[in-house]
A and B are shown apart, each in its own frame.
Chain A
């Protein structure tokens, strides 16, 4: 009896229009999702193209600023042992008070590193004077030099807490980086101003060949302690991912509104079935069908309608997006527009549509089961 009942219900005049109503909603979701996929994949591709940076930092896991990071200095030798790593620069950042010859005082950032020339080389710095080579010498960034009126050959004192060192500025550097506002000293000077040897703020290293990045990173990760992590200095992929997440958040909110309409559409499908097939439903009850049978008829009819609508909608949505993007490519020559939907997303859309259909049809299905014997309507 079930098959006859379903044939009767599906052959009604209104079935096609209800399937189409759901299909149009799903088509919206499919087309918008495929366009967003295209935008996100382009952003990823651009980030891979632009992400040419080869410089990384080893920092501590829980630090939000480099100055607060604490890394064991033993990692430096281990990193230098990896042949694919080009330059390893252990660095210590700290805030200190700079006292100038004229008696003025400034809070400045002091950067200590064990190879000052290599550090300046890594940031393509220009220098007026020479690189500092021992604990009594320092280099100063040109902006800080102008700000504090401290030039080459000036003698200044740096203090951090109770520790004080007196140094001579032997060179003024311009690098178009934060070092233009810093004092750069050998690591021993930075150690003298801080907690001492053995602890660094971070370790900067660069890899020789960017195509061996994964291999190098795998080896570096093995060397790290649980409290350390590696970050790339040019974080274009992180940026692109966050921007993509923002678009996905917007899409989720919008999809929620669409699924709410799918719930309404499913209610209409079920209610319309009950209104238009009330004689058939009453007939089944008269022939001995139980309430459960009526419920199942309405419920399964709605679910099948929603499923067919979802599949049709996916087809319309993807095909529509492809046709529209092809037309746009022809008209405007935008070759980057190529929407797509992956299998997982298609399945997710169908499952969410079916879930919405269940929510939408429960009430009319239950009500019809109670009322069908008396041609009840909603």
Chain B
């Protein structure tokens, strides 16, 4: 005879147990979602699309410290299958006492890779020597509006510059937390000469060119036996910089160059420090394991509180196995409720703190993303905790 129809579990006690399991589940979800938010934010920094490739210098230990010659943007442009290139220089700076990343760009080139929607003011031109456009996230952080002036202090050199907000943009990418300036302003603030940039973002047609063939084409042009020579027709980069800066070409060691899919480029930096999506999920599981002591105690309490009811059922002939199975079925249902509530609660907390700009890592907002792996892991782990506690339960006759 099934015990499922017997309602011997006290509703108030079930509610208390669900509440405690919900809090445990919330702790796991908050940890995992914020870790993954940080990880995804970092790996999406250069681009999320498969057809966006990063050309970078391998000598830097962070994406900010590597350098690559800007003229390579022209070499890349000439490769069949390359749709657009955007040389960018990233400079960590301080504005009004707050840490900010300034990105030096060629406005026309960037627009071919990332769509910027100007929400206020006007777009940036390469000739805007004292202007910047700022992302909506940065606008909220610094409380700036179009027309406001501010001084930028560099981190990597003893340089400073006065800039005026020319416009505010929205891109739905990490750029929203940055200020965009003409490439040469970024180079001042990064403390490098006019020939170098941090990364060259490249949009490719995957059917026409692969990462390997792009690297081969790139390193061919840097070989000392086949020095790159200025092309007869002016490239996109040269055309944009024409009349402002002339880019010089010099031999570079092919081994100092790297070409990779944008996300893999960023992942490789995190991997150097042992940080991967898997390790972050494992860390979150460790947090849940540490918090599971509370869940286990709550389950023990729950069973102790029902000792009398369980004793009655045992005395009328219900086997320990049958009672455990019944408890397991009933409590697994409540585990599902607790893990769902935990996920919803953690999502609400993170979205709230994200909206008020409280959650930031490296001056970029941590974007909350509902990861199905975390949601599933949450339920599985809470259920496993309940199952282990019930199975290990000692039931005296």
| Interface residues of A, Cβ cutoff 8 Å to B | 14, 17-18, 20-25, 27-28, 53-55, 57, 64-68, 93, 108-109, 143-144, 146-147, 176-178, 180-181, 231-236, 238-239, 242-243, 246-247, 249-250, 253-254, 257-258, 260-261, 263-265, 267-269, 271-272, 275-276, 328, 332, 334, 377-378
Contact = CB atoms under 8 A, between A and B. Distances in A.
A370 to B, nearest CB: 16
Contacts of B301: 268, 271-272, 275
Nearest to A332: B274
B94 A261 contact: no
B96 to A, nearest CB: 6
Interface in B83-135: 92-94, 96-99, 127, 129-130
B150 A65 contact: yes
B360 to A, nearest CB: 4
Nearest to B187: A176
A259 to B, nearest CB: 10
Given A66-B151, A254-B31, A53 B23 contact: no
B304 A276 contact: yes
Interface in B134-162: 148-151, 153-162
Contacts of B30: 253-254, 257
A246 B360 contact: yes
B99 A249 contact: no
B359 interface: yes
A143 B245 contact: yes
A14 B23 contact: no
11 contacts: A22-B294, A27-B290, A28-B287, A53-B158, A143-B129, A143-B184, A235-B94, A250-B34, A254-B34, A264-B24, A271-B301
Contacts of B293: 17, 20-25, 265
Nearest to A234: B158
- Chain A CB within 10 A, most for which of B96, B149, B162, B244: B162
B96 A64 contact: yes
B228 interface: no
Given A93-B162, A180-B184, 5 more contacts: A28-B291, A181-B129, A233-B160, A242-B98, A263-B23
Nearest to A246: B360
Best-buried of B194, B294, B362 by chain A (most CB within 10 Å):
B294
Contacts of A231: 153
Contact of A275 (B20, B193, B304): B304
Given A65-B149, A261-B23, A176 B127 contact: no
A238 B97 contact: yes
A304 B124 CA distance: 63
A239 B149 contact: no
A233 B243 CA distance: 30
Contacts of B358: 249, 253
A66 B27 contact: no
Contact of B155 (A25, A239, A254): A239
Contacts of A25: 290-291, 293-294
